Structure formats: C-alpha cells, structure tokens
C-alpha cells in the first residue's frame, strides 16, 4: 500500500465473493498502484459497475450468482484485459474462450498479480 500509494495506473475491476480474499486482493491491487472497482460478489453487481476507464479486471470464476463469464464477455467486448483468479482448474476452457486472458491461480502471490496487472496496463 505504501509503495503504490502515490501512483495511479488506472481502475481495475475486482470480482470476488470471498470477503477476506476480496479484501486481500483489493489491498494487493491498490498496493500495485491501481484503483479498485468492487470487489463484487455477484455478477449483477459487477455488470452494473462496468466503467469505460477500466484498464484491467481481476475475476474470480465462481461468484455468488454463477460463473463470471457474462462479465468477462462484456469486458472482452470493451477490450478490457482480463486476469482470471481462481481455484478452479479450468485454464483450457478459459484460454479457449478468452484468448489473451491472463491467469493467476489461488492463492495468489502479490508479485504475480502485480506483474499481471502491469502487463495489462502496458498492453
């Protein structure tokens, strides 16, 4: 939080239904110098919070009201780079459905997510 507090690389959408993990991720993203939209535990909430200024989205696959893919589709339509963050072993599915999406398996290391976010912001 201290390192990235001064910089702003942009807004990142966070979808995560587990409160502790959501908080943790929020802190890590902010620490990496991004602002966080969310975290959202529901697809409906996430879809309502799509901002054109998003530079990336960190998505847990399973949310309270289902899989996150409608959100991912909407984001892809807006060319928002995606970072999937999941305990599910579904890389192949995601890779097939969302080519170009990044993937960070749980539990996540803050360097990994930081690198991924920076990659998204750069692209």
Partner 1 sequence: MNDRAVTAGEAADVAGGATLRVVGVGASAGGLEALREMLTEAGPDCTLAFVVVQHLDPNHESLLAELLARHTSLEVHQAEDGETVRPGTVLIIPPGHGLSIDGGRLSLTEFEQPRGLRRPIDDFFESLAIDQGRRAACVILSGTGADGTAGLRAIKEHGGVGVVQDPRTAKYDGMPSSAQSTGLVDFVLAPGEMIETLQQFFSKSAAEAGGRELAVTVEETLDDICAAVRAVSGHDFSGYKKSTLSRRVQRRIQVLDLPDADAYLRHIRDDPAECEFLFRELLINVTRFFRDAEHFRTLRRRVVKPLVQNAGNEDIRVWVAGCSSGEEAYSIAMLFAEEVRLQRRSIDIQIFATDIDERMLEIARRGVYAHSVMADVPEEIRDLYTVARGSSTFQVSARIRDMIRFSAHSLVRDPPFSNIDLLSCRNVLIYFGEPLQSTVLPIFHYAIRPGGTLFLGPSETLGRNDRMFHAVDSQARIFERNDARSEYPIHLKGRSDDPRRRRRAAERSSGPATHVPWSDNAATERILEAYGPATLLVTSQGEVVGSTGRLGRYLEVFPGERTAQHAASLARPGVREAISSLVRQSGQTGRRAVGRDIVATSELGRQVFDLIADPLRDGTILLVFRPRDRFAPTDEEDIEDIDASDSHVQGLEDELRATRARLSTAVEELETANEELKSSNEEMMSMNEELQSTNEELATVNDELKDKVEDLSVANADLSNFFSTTVLPLVVLDIDGRVRNFTDAIHAIYPLRAGDRGRPLSEVTSRISEDAAVLAATEEVIETGEGRDLQVRDTSAGRIWSLAASPYRNRNDRIDGVTLVFSELTEALRLEGALKAESDRLRLALDVAQMGVWELSEGATGLRFDNTSAKLLGLDRGELPLGDFLDSLPEAFRSETETTLRQHDGTVLPFTLTFDFDVGDGDGRSIQMVGRRSGDRTLGVLYDVTEAEEARRVREIMLHEMNHRVKNLFSIISGIVRIAGMSAESVPALVDGVTARIGALARSHNLTHHVPAGGSLTLRDAVESAVEPYRGHAGIEVDGPRIDVAAETLTTLSLLFHELATNTAKYGVLGPAEGTLAITWTHAGGDEVRLHWTERYEAPMARGEAEKSGFGSTLMQMSAAQVDGRIEVERTVDMRMTILMFEIHD
Question: For residues 61 and 101, which CB has a smaller minimum distance to partner 1 in the complex?
Answer: 61
Q: Both tokens of residue 65?
A: 């009201």
Question: For residues 20 and 122, which CB has a smaller minimum distance to partner 1 in the complex?
Answer: 20
Summarize as ranges the residues that interact with partner 1 (CB under 8 A): 17-27, 39, 41-42, 45, 62, 64-65, 87-89, 105-108
Question: For residues 35 and 88, which CB has a smaller minimum distance to partner 1 in the complex?
Answer: 88
Least Cβ distance, residue 61 to partner 1 (angstroms): 9
Least Cβ distance, residue 123 to partner 1 (angstroms): 26
Distances (CA, A) of 63 to 38, 59, 96: 13, 9, 20
Cα–Cα distance measured from residue 68 to residue 84, given in angstroms and rounded to the nearest whole number: 10
Report yes or no: 117 and 34 within 8 Å, Cβ to Cβ. yes
């Amino acid at each position: 939080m201290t390192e990235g507090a001064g910089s702003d690389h942009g807004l990142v959408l966070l979808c995560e239904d587990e409160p502790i993990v959501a908080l943790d991720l929020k802190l890590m993203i902010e620490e990496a110098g991004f602002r966080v939209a969310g975290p959202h535990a529901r697809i409906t909430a996430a879809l309502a919070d799509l901002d054109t200024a998003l530079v990336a989205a960190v998505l847990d696959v399973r949310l309270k009201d289902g899989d996150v893919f409608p959100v991912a589709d909407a984001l892809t339509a807006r060319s928002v780079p995606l970072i999937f963050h999941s305990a599910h072993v579904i890389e192949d599915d995601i890779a097939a459905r969302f080519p170009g999406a990044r993937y960070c398996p749980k539990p996540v290391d803050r360097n990994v997510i930081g690198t991924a976010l920076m990659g998204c912001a750069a692209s």
